[in-house]
Amino acid sequence: MAEFPSLLEFADDIYTCNRTRCGFCREECPVYRVKRLETYSSRGRMLVARGLMEGILEPSVEVQDLMDECLMCGYCEARCALNNMDVFSTVRQELREAGFASPRHERTSAKILDEGTLFARPTPFRRVGTVPLYLGCAYQSKPHEVKKIVSVLEKVGIDPLVSDEVCCSYIVGAIGFKDEFGEAQARFRQVYGPHLEGEILTVCPTCTATLRDEYGLKVKNAVVAVAERIQEMDLKPLNKRVTYHDPCHLGRMLGVVQEPRQILEALGIELVEMEHHGIFSTCCGGGGGVLDVDRDLAIEVSKNRIRDAAAVGVDTIVTACPTCQPTLLRGAGRVANELDMFVDVLDLWELLDEALES
């Protein structure tokens, strides 16, 4: 009994799920959509969690692989009042402590702790301004995109201040590396110290959710800030018909669902909704560190999201996340022959920059 003692804290949730089996979380779980086995759905993982809690299952590489193949996208929690994600995070932490962690995750964690960034960045972007803007390491690795974001913010009347920053280290926490995440947080607070008291503007949805939920900071995603000002702007109408992919952290976890749609409307863009959207959007495939440990699975998930877009008859997806865009583009390339079309994936900032050119 109690191979995984910290799971006992969630025993009520685990047993409630195990004995109920409503299956609301299952069909649209992006990993289940690919694998079609109960084991990979949230309710299947909850049975595995019970197996670990009661000692029916031993920690093993197989269990570790299963848990690593969760995108931590939160779809199951949107469909259910149980704390599924906390259970899975706890299992990941316990597995790590029992000596079961992916070597790739170990490398990722070490890289972030050593270098302060997950992604290589040519020259860190800095700007003198008045409103603290935290770009995060994904955007810091994309100087071209950053230029557009800053240009858009300037045009809507925001004077961003980009100072020294290190990775928010979301992924270190998500993969269950609890101590390392604590260490990374301390370093973040040290480096970003001057701006911790006031409101921080952010662009990456994952950073936004992490700084709010894990660091307890006051943050505002720049999409919200732009939406607040968009009606006052002189915009060049863009003649496009698109669908919008809600990034999990931006839509489901931060509740920023209407703002990107208001922006698209202001840009004169026709929006066609995919079946799964808003808080019930589905992951692009880039969540939870799955890209690191099972690239094929991540691509299959992204292909399904592209199929979702094609199913509503559009050839362009707009999103607002530095992880979703490249992940979906990868899926779009892989599924183009099957669909006989290439579904392009654009960043919302790119469109804003184009509309504000004048």
Return the residues of window 150-189 that contact another protein according to CB under 8 A: none
- Binding piece for another protein, criterion CB under 8 A, among 19-27, 157-165, 232-240, 318-326: 19-27
Of residues 56 and 186, the one with the C-beta less far from another protein: 56
SS (H, E, C) 202-244: ECCHHHHHHHHHCCCCCEEEHHHHHHHHHHHCCCCCCCCEEEE
> Could you give the CA distance from residue 305 to residue 187 in angstroms, rounded to a whole number?
36
Beta carbon of residue 89, minimum distance to another protein (angstroms, whole number):
18
Residue length, the chain?
358
Among positions 245-284, residues that touch another protein (CB under 8 A) are 275
Tell whether residue 63 is a contact of another protein (CB under 8 A). Answer: yes
How far apart, in Å, are the Cα atoms of 84 and each of 70, 133, 141, 147? 11, 32, 32, 39
63/222 with CB nearer another protein: 63
* Nearer Cβ to another protein (24/119): 24
Closest to another protein by CB, 16 vs 151, is 16
Q: How far is CA 312 from CA 78, 108, 273, in A?
A: 23, 37, 8
For strands 131-134 and 270-271, give the pairing: unpaired
Piece of the chain touching another protein by CB under 8 A; list 60-68, 179-187, 223-231, 244-252: 60-68
Kindly state whether residue 5 participates in binding another protein, applying the rule CB under 8 A: no
**CB neighbour class for 342 (10 Å; exposed up to 12, middle 13-18, buried from 19):** middle
Binding of another protein by 15 (CB under 8 A): yes
Cα 129 to its chain centre, rounded Å, is: 28
CA 282 – CA 247 distance, rounded (Å):
8
Q: Which stretch binds another protein (CB under 8 A): 62-70, 84-92, 151-159, 255-263?
A: 62-70
Using rule CB under 8 A, residue 79 touches another protein: yes
296 is an interface residue for another protein by CB under 8 A: no
67 vs 203 by CB, closer to another protein: 67
- From the list 2-10, 78-86, 154-162, 202-210, the region that binds another protein by CB under 8 A is 78-86
Please list, in sequence order, all residues whose beta carbon lies within 8 angstroms of the beta carbon of residue 206, skipping any fewer than 6 positions away: 136, 138, 168, 170, 247, 249, 321, 323
Nearer to another protein, 16 or 262 (CB): 16
Residues numbered 183-242 forming contacts with another protein, rule: CB under 8 A: none
C-alpha distances (whole Å) from 260 to each of 20, 225, 228, 324 are 37, 11, 11, 15
Sketch the per residue contact string, 23 through 42, with another protein: x for CB under 8 A, - otherwise: xx-xx--------xxxx---
Residue 32, token pair as written in the block: 């289940």
3-class state of residue 345 by DSSP: strand
Contacting positions for another protein (CB under 8 A): 15-16, 18-24, 26-27, 36-39, 43-45, 47-48, 50-51, 54, 56-57, 62-63, 66, 79-82, 275
